[in-house]
C-alpha cells in the first residue's frame, strides 16, 4: 500500500507538470472543434457494472456537447479487453470512424493476467503508430496494478506507459483512477472499478487531458 501511495504522489507531480507545460500552448476554442474522438479502452472506460449513462465517457460527452457541438465521441471500449484484442479491432475502427484523436486506455487486463509486458508495450506502440499513420493524434492512458502483484512487476507495468509516452513523444495520463482507486466509497465491491460517483471523479481527472488533446 505504501508503494502504491508513493506512485500516486509521483502521478500528482506528473499531472502538475503537464498542466504547467500546457499553459503555453495555443488552443482552438471548443466551439470551433470539429472531428471524432475515438475511445479505445477496457472496462474502466466501458462503464463496467453500471448503465452506459453513468460512465465517464457518457458524462464527458454530455458535458462537452453544448460547448463543442461538432465533436463526435465514439466509445469502442470493451470490458475485459487486452492490448492484443484492441490491436486486432483497431484498424477497422480507424477506417470506420476516421478519428482526429484517439484515447488509448488498454493494458490493465494484460497486467492482471500476467501477459508479458514487452508484448503489451509492443501492441500499444503499434496502435500509436497506426493512429499517427491515419493522421490522428493519440493520448496514452496509464494505470496501476494492485500491490499484491509485487513491487517489481507493478513498477515495470506503471513505467511501461511513461516509457512509451517518452519514446513516442505523445500526450500521457499517468493514472486515470487518481483519487479514486484508494477510496472505497468511489469503488465497486471488486476494488478494481469505479462506481457511479467514482466515474465523476475519473472524468475530472481525464477532462483536462482530453481538452488539451482536441484543442491543440
Model pLDDT, residue 115: 94
pLDDT at 111: 96
Q: What was the pLDDT predicted at 191? A: 93
pLDDT tens column, 65-81: 999 999 999 999 999 99
pTM over 0.85: yes
Known catalytic membership, residue 190? yes
Active site residue 193: yes
So what's the pLDDT on residue 27? 84
Distance CA 42, CA 50 (A): 14
Please identify which of the residues 42, 43, 77, 110 carries the catalytic annotation: 43
pLDDT of the residue at 21: 43
pLDDT of residue 24: 42
164 burial type by CB count under 10 A (0-12 exposed, 13-18 middle, 19+ buried): buried
Q: Annotated catalytic residue: which of 26, 51, 169, 190?
A: 190
Which entry of 91, 134, 193, 215 is annotated as an active-site residue? 193
Closest CA to 87 of 123, 46, 52, 132: 123
Rounded distance between C-alpha atoms, residue 165 and residue 144, angstroms:
16
pLDDT at 26: 62
H runs (alpha helix) in the chain: 2-22, 56-64, 83-97, 108-112, 117-133, 151-168, 196-215
Which parts of the chain sit beneath pLDDT 50?
Answer: 1-4, 6-7, 9, 11, 13, 15-24
Compute, in degrees rounded to 10, the torsion defined by CA atoms 152, 154, 160, 163: -70
User: What single-letter DSSP state applies at residue 89?
Assistant: H
Q: Which domains does the chain have, with CATH numbers?
A: 2-8+35-108+115-215 (3.40.50.1110)
Amino acid at each position: 500500500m505504501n508503494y502504491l501511495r508513493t506512485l500516486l504522489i509521483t502521478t500528482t507531480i506528473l499531472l502538475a507538470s503537464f498542466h504547467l507545460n500546457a499553459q503555453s500552448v495555443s488552443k482552438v476554442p471548443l466551439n470551433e472543434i470539429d472531428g471524432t474522438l475515438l475511445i479505445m479502452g477496457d472496462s474502466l472506460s466501458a462503464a463496467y457494472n453500471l448503465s452506459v449513462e453513468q460512465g465517464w465517457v457518457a458524462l464527458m460527452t454530455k458535458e462537452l456537447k453544448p460547448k463543442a457541438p461538432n465533436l463526435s465521441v465514439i466509445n469502442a471500449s470493451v470490458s475485459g479487453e487486452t492490448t492484443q484484442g484492441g490491436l486486432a479491432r483497431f484498424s477497422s475502427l480507424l477506417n470506420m470512424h476516421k478519428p482526429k484523436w484517439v484515447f488509448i486506455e488498454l493494458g490493465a487486463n494484460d497486467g492482471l493476467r500476467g501477459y508479458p509486458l514487452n508484448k503489451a508495450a509492443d501492441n500499444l506502440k503499434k496502435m500509436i503508430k497506426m493512429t499517427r499513420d491515419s493522421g490522428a493524434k493519440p493520448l496514452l492512458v496509464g494505470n496501476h496494478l494492485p500491490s499484491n502483484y509485487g513491487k517489481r512487476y507493478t513498477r515495470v507495468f506503471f513505467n511501461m506507459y511513461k516509457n512509451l509516452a517518452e519514446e513516442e513523444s505523445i500526450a500521457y495520463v499517468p493514472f486515470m483512477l487518481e483519487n479514486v482507486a484508494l477510496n472505497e466509497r468511489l469503488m465497486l465491491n471488486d476494488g478494481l472499478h469505479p462506481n457511479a460517483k467514482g466515474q465523476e471523479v475519473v472524468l475530472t481527472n481525464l477532462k483536462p487531458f482530453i481538452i488539451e488533446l482536441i484543442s491543440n
